[in-house]
Structure 1
């Protein structure tokens, strides 16, 4: 859709000045008004001017990190149950999972069974399958709680995903202690 550019029309002036006497002639004014009111004016288009929105360069999408959250159990047909989400960087993995309705705590989902993100209970364990370079290093709490666990396991409440400008993909295995399959 564009803006219609019209050619300039030559409308007769509504007021004419008598050059000899310097006064307006009422008869001429009313004749001109009548002619304008009773006539149809033709307007012709000479071209279109594109909208500003169309001329503007399309804005680049804001930076975001894409996630594939793989459930610990397989679907009945033997395929993994994968949930795709996207979020901006600089946020805790726990918050991203909770807002995306991803099962984070499994059987520990009751308020009295988890620490609600303070990093003391170890119930929000996830396995980072891919994209660990986008995640913050392990915190001291993680090192303490996960010292006997694989290096790919993290606490979602302690893991920060990139920063505000981060882009990339992360694959997360939820509830890795109950997973029914191995990664190859």
Structure 2
């Protein structure tokens, strides 16, 4: 089991949720009402960029569309799109912070 924890942002309080390998972060964030903005949900706007502060090894590698958007936004190496990132195998904690407040 993987625990996803999202830090507080201007959009709301911190939250946590249990997740299974293979789940998309967008789905986990929806259930947990995470303080992350979502717009397109299809790797075209970059609104849902998150910093992965812990547990990056528990996420699958970025897909080509996700990496293209991250490159356009000159994202830091620890940033992912919550609408595209998926949980990989393993157990542990993924700690996220919405990057929209930078």
> Which among 115, 122, 135 is matched to residue 59 of structure 2?
135
SS at structure 2 position matched to 1:162: coil
Give the root-mean-square deviation of aligned CA atoms: 1.9
Q: Can you list the C-alpha shifts for 1:100-124, whole angstroms capped at 9, x where unaligned?
A: 111221xxx5xxxx21x22111111
**Alignment TM-score, normalising by the size of structure 1:** 0.49
1:96-175 equivalences in 2 (<5 Å): 96-105=28-37, 114-115=39-40, 117-147=41-71, 148-163=74-89, 166-174=90-98
Q: Which runs of 4+ in 1 moved over 4 A?
A: none
**Alignment TM-score, normalising by the size of structure 2:** 0.85
1:149 CA displacement: 1.3
- Greater Rg, structure 1 or structure 2? 1
Give the number of equivalent residue pairs: 99
Runs of at least 5 residues in structure 2 that lack an aligned partner in the other structure: none
* Aligned residues of 1:90 and 1:162 also touching (Cα < 8 A): yes
Runs of at least 5 residues in structure 1 that lack an aligned partner in the other structure: 1-63, 74-80, 180-184
Q: Which has the higher contact order (CA 8 A, sep 6+)?
A: 2
